[in-house]
Each structure stands twice: as structure tokens, then as C-alpha cells.
Structure 1
Amino acid sequence: MARCQFWANRAERIGSSLRITMKNIKDLPAHNRPREKLKERGASALNDEELVAAILGRGVKGHDLRTISRSVAKLIRNHRKNLTIEHLTAVRGMGLAKAAQILSAFELARRYLIKDAVKVTGAQDMIPLLADIVDKKQEHFVCFSLNGAHEVIEKRIVTIGLVDRSPVHPREVYADVISDRAAAVIFAHNHPSGDRYVAS
């Protein structure tokens, strides 16, 4: 029994030592470091934490890069496009310069990678936005969140029903709309039968 306890304690010490050793990016094998991994396998091979680490580059005294990146990645997932410089600078080890790096990367992506905003001025503007559900064999209930300029913030398929109905609960409809801080909302659904009558 004493011998088993000895090896259990030794294993625990080794595990703790490894966790400490592998805490810093520089302690990882070269092929697992974010920037080297990006070079070899492309940005899509990196998880959220690694992408943040690749942008930030290094930690600061008392706050290693992996811990900072983990906290920032969590903030990004929670706040998405509502992420602010105040959110970022509240993370230990994140000063103005590092927060600016993250927000600048977001803005570049918004300008050049995200499609232009679609503005809805009438029913005709909705036709191309609903083209993907026209021929579906089940009824799809779709919700569009709009900002104050009536530009589409987000399109979501709320429910997929049967051939002639799609039950919808207000909770499922408005939860995401409120999160989007939408100024307006548009609901739509398809008719698998092909009928063009207006549903009541």
C-alpha cells in the first residue's frame, strides 16, 4: 500500500511539473506553437485561443500568453460583435495596445471579409434572402434581425416543421433578437406546397 502511495504521489508531482512547464507558448513543441502552426497548416487549423495568441504574440510580466489568450477567446465567444475595448482591457495582462490589436483585427475582417450589409426597404428586398428555403420540403420559420437603418444584422432559421406547419414559441424567436439589440424584426416562412396565399 505504501509503495502504491509513493508512485501516486510521484505521478502527481510529475503531472504538476508538466503543467507548469507547458504553461508558456515557448515551452510547446515548435509545431504546436500558434504562429508556427499557422505557417505550416493555415489559420483554419488554429482554435480560438491559438488565433488570439498568434495576434498578441507574447504575454506580459506576471501573465503568460496562454492564460491571456484563453480569457480573451472566451470574451470573444460571449460578446462577438459587441466586444469593446473596455471588455478587453478588463482582462489581466491586456493593456490598451493588446486590446487595440484584437479590435483592429476584427475591423479588418469586417471591412474586407464580411459581406456588405443588406438593407431592407420593401418586400422585394426579402426575395433573395429567402431563396434558400423556397424549395424546402418542410416549412421553415425564419427570423431577420434589423438595425436602425433596416440593415440585416442576422438571419436565423428558428424552427423547421412539417409540410404544412412550423410551431414557434415566442421565447425561441425573441431571445436572439434581444441579444442582437435589433431595432426591427422580420419573420417569414415558406410553403412547401407551393401555394402563394398569405398565412393567417
Structure 2
Amino acid sequence: MFYTVNMKTIKELHKDDKPREKLVKKGVEALKNDELLSVLIGSGIQGKDVRKLSKEIVGILDESFESLSLEKLLKIHGLGLAKASQILSAIELAKRYTSQSNKKITSAEDVYNELKSFSTKQQEYFLVMTLDGASHIINTRTVFIGTLNQSLVHPREVFADAIADRAAGIIVAHNHPSGTLAASRADIQVTQRLDEVSKLVGIELLDHVILAKDGFYSFTEEGLL
């Protein structure tokens, strides 16, 4: 006699047990941890349906969330490289956003440390960092890549996401591939224009920081904002 292994996918679960339908009906906050994982991985493996597999993974997360590795996930019997990579990537993404949202910016040096990776770029990157009322980072976005000038850096693009983020203030930054730690005429003109618009939309322009390999230049610290 042969036995058929019952390997349920999300589609095969009873309607009331389907995490995806629960997510749509009640919101993602209503899902338990194993249900969130069920949505992420989609199906079970040989000998384990999706919910059983998810609960086993949650057990590993509870024990070693901070030290979770691909090797630890692959120790779960039957969990392959593809699903393990999906889980690890989703967790890392969440960690990065959580870490960013908790960071507080109190000086131009904080901005430089946060965006230091852009200081050695060979092209100019224009970045907008949105902050809440307690000066915590909400988000950081690249708005423009190329030579900085007024016609290319439009206030609408700079403030659109800040409005969507309900930010209290923004800090703009861009790198100087040449390594020059001084504001050009174009830098000053762009900053003045953004400062004017910031007063109209009620979102404060806190600083414009120029990033270079050997340090930074702050418009606020130089008395230009």
C-alpha cells in the first residue's frame, strides 16, 4: 500500500483559514506570524503543508532572529534554497527599514554618516531625506542623477514624497564627484529655490549637505539656511 502525502498550498486551505483572504478582509496587522510567512512562501513542502512549515520557521525566528542565516534556515527539513532566500531577504529588508526609521538626525555630520556611500560616486546624486517632528528619518530617496541645476531639480519632485510622508522637515544632499567641499553657484540657487518653496508648503528645509570623499559642506552650518 502507498500513502499519499497531503501537502497543502494556500489555495487548498479552507476559505476562513487562508491568510491572503484574511489579509484582504482584516488587514495585514490581523495576521499571526506564521500566517505572514504562509503568504510569503505560498506553499508547503513534501510532508509539510504551508501552515506547518510556517510554524516551524517561526520557531527558528523566535530562537535566533538577530543571528538568522541562510544556513540555519536550510537546516529545516525540506526547505530549499529558493524559499529560504525569500524569507531571509524579506527579513533583511524589514530590518533595514526599521533601522532607518529609528535613526535621529541632529547635525550635518549625522547626515554625512548616513549618506557617506554616495560621497565616492562618479555621478552626482541628489537625495532627499524626510524627517518627522522628532528628527527621525522617515525615508531617503534619490530624486535626480546628473549635473545639478535649477531646471533639473524641480521642487515638485523634492516635496511630493515629503508631503506623502507627512514629513515635518527635509534635508537635501548631493555629492561632488570632484571632491570639492564648497557650494557652487548652481548649488546655492537650487537651495534658495527649495527654501522658498518649503515655506509655501510648510515643510522646513533643514539643511543642504554636500558630500565628498574627505568630508561635507553644510549650508546650515555656513549660515546659508
Bigger helix fraction:
1
Bigger strand fraction:
2
- TM-score band by shorter chain is 0.3 to 0.5
Structure with greater contact order relative to length (CA < 8 Å, sep ≥ 6) = 2
Q: TM-score, normalised by structure 1?
A: 0.44
